[in-house]
Amino acid sequence: RKEVEQDPGPFNVPEGATVAFNCTYSNSASQSFFWYRQDCRKEPKLLMSVYSSGNEDGRFTAQLNRASQYISLLIRDSKLSDSATYLCVGNAGGTSYGKLTFGQGTILTVHP
C-alpha cells in the first residue's frame, strides 16, 4: 500500500463549482501534511499546510482526520486558474525538515 494515496481524477468542474479531493495515508506516525499544486511542466508550489485538524485560506479549506487517516482539500467557487494537479503530501518526521511523501496527484480541470 502506498504511504499517501489520492484519487487521480481527473475532476472536470465548471467555474464556480465546489470540488473536494480526498487523500489517505498509511503511516500513523505522520504529524503534518501539505497540499501542493503543480501546473503542467512546472515545480510544485505549496498551497496549504495542515498541522492540526484543519486550515482555511480564502476559497481553500484543508481538513485532517487522524482517526480515519485522511486529509481533504475543498475548493469553493472554482476559477479557471485553479486547473492544476493537486498533490497531497505527508511528513512522518513531525516537521517540514523531515522527509516528505508525495501522493500521485489529483488532476483538476475547471472549464467555463
Tell whether residue 49 is a contact of other proteins (CB under 8 A): yes
Tell whether residue 102 is a contact of other proteins (CB under 8 A): yes
Q: Which range binds other proteins by CB under 8 A, 9-17, 45-53, 60-68, 69-77?
A: 45-53
Which grid coordinates are listed for 92? 512522518
CB 62 within 8 A of CB 50: yes
Q: Cis bond leading into 10, ω under 30°?
A: yes
CB 63 within 8 A of CB 48: no
**DSSP-based three-state secondary structure for 79:** coil
Nearest Cα to Cα of residue 48 among 16, 30, 75? 75
Kindly give the residue spans of alpha helices, DSSP state H, lying in the chain.
none
Tell whether residue 21 is a contact of other proteins (CB under 8 A): no
Tell whether residue 81 is a contact of other proteins (CB under 8 A): no
Tell whether residue 43 is a contact of other proteins (CB under 8 A): yes
Tell whether residue 59 is a contact of other proteins (CB under 8 A): no
Tell me the C-alpha distance between 21 and 35, whole Å.
10
Residue 69 beta carbon to other proteins: minimum distance, rounded to whole angstroms: 18
Residue 17 beta carbon to other proteins: minimum distance, rounded to whole angstroms: 26
Residue 38 beta carbon to other proteins: minimum distance, rounded to whole angstroms: 9
**Interface residue list for other proteins (CB under 8 A):** 34, 41-46, 49, 87, 95-97, 99-105
